[in-house]
A and B are shown apart, each in its own frame.
Chain A
Amino acid sequence: MRSVFFHTVFLIYSTYALSIEHDFKETFQDYTQEDLHVVEKQIQNLLPRLKRTVVSIETLDGAGSGVIVTKDGLVISAAHVIEQRGKKMTVILSDGRKIHAVSKGGSQLSDAGMLKLNDDGPFEFATMAKSGSSKVHQWCFALGHPNGYNKDRGIVLRAGKILAKKDETIQTNCRLLGGDSGGALFNLQGEVIGIHSRISNKPEENFHTSIESFLSNWDYFLSEELLTLENLKAGGFLGVSCEQSNNGLLILKVVPGSAAEKLGLFANDELLCLDGIPLDTREKLTILVSKKSPGEVITLDFLRKGREISIQVALGTRQ
């Protein structure tokens, strides 16, 4: 009887690394001892492997963190850690090994950044979660190097729940500190769901760039300059503020005098595609529009009262 019991336990735990056979309640404070036990076991199982994917990044006068997401050493981090494309940086792996790296692109809008290690590995890497898979009230945990790399201490773990998720930002109660920037937020499957970005002075105000920002703009981040708030001004301007919706982007407000208003776009219209490219994040729309020059014509597909409409519009200038 006893051996059967142990055998079962072993089987359950051995499959944990991929999926969890446990139903968690979808509220914040409602968790059982059993829930806590499952979360703890899952984190402890994943920790040794995931720690090897989280790195410390040395900049000239400070430190951030990052997480390796490909076998050949691509690291995702925060835009304010890499600061610009083509910067030489030093990355410290969890075992203390130092490797040089060069920054790629990213976006200051969502605070996403990338860098590539000057060594093709193979490296252990973390898997990125599928777009839209992280939900409010889910358990999560954060790894990073608060106050920079510390050999005696090691990587620091924080565990908590997702408190809010909106557009490119996830808020959790996993407390962060300077040096954590660019470190990874994981779900209980051990997939990256966010990158540490910013905090306030309140313990529950910890903000992470959601992985969706990277997934949606992967090629752009990899190949183009870092999108800064400054170089947005030079590009085209549509003039809508929107939020993510089921089909695309729901327009909340149209800027008076903008190209969008002239065209007759209204609040509650739902943007679907720009030049045939599906709009899954606000940032994607901003990036696509800013890549165009003022006056350039784009094709916009949108949904109004259940009817799909396709129009062409000349972009304006950002005021």
Chain B
Amino acid sequence: MSEIAILNLPASRGANTNATPVPLIPDADRKPLTKKEISADHPTWCPGCGDFSVLALYFKLIEKRKMHHEKITTVAGIGCSSRFPYFVQAHGAHYIHGRALPFASGVSLSRPDLHVFVFGGDGDAFSIGGNHFTHTARKNVKLTYVVMDNSVYGLTKNQTSPTSPIGFKSKTDVWGAKDQPINPLKQAIAAGATFVARTSHTNPNHVLQMMEAAMDHDGFSFIQCLSECVEFYPGAFDTSNPRKGGKYELVPESHDVTDEYAAYKLSENLHPGLFGVFYKNKRATKNANEAEIIADLQGKHAGLEPWQILKKNFDRMK
């Protein structure tokens, strides 16, 4: 055998090498977090950006649901909206472009004690990360994905996005976009998402309502949240904004949210389209399926130490 440098385990079992006993207020006596306690960096967004409203409502959600700092897990990819984790005073991860979902899935699957929120934009979700959107939805990984859809690439300064409508003029389509845009709701339903909702930054109460419903859903919950880019696509969603003469029309109460085809049909026209929960169904989550496999196999090895389980394999290899 060759010389090995480090075969002994580093002294500390866990990550907190410098952990010292900390006098802490018991959970029951902890007060709900205030906006001041939960906000971190001042957002880098342009004044008037729709994303401010989504951030404010995330704070509201944390406050309302009395979530503690350490339980808040915020993950994002790359884009204007994906700067989100820096603005939240909690555990956050700012990952690479388009791959926030598989990163968040790794957290969700390995740490069932946490509810992971993922924030991102339409380019991150439907263009570079399109493949991951499909597969995270079909596997029904338990997490909440809020796509702040502004229908334009903002961070890179005005290129056509996968949700830009036909005719939209950008730096990459100076004569107007020609490609069929993605319909995020249809995409989500077809991929097998178990919670599909739509909201808009212009209606704060509705955003909060959708976030709460998404968080309570046991599975992959997806929210398309219209979020206006005042710099490169001003007025994009005026048709759904009553203050701009538009109409904010809710999904009719008669709609059966478990009816996939009805939900698909309701998603037909998104200009301005409807708002609310389009589809919601119960299907075993990836998390639950894995837990079942683990319980089954651990049951078969009950009473054995981990090294003894491994020893069984080695005994077979003699």
Q: Do A and B come from one complex?
A: no
User: Which residues of A pack against B, CB within 8 Å?
Assistant: none
User: Which residues of B pack against A, CB within 8 Å?
Assistant: none
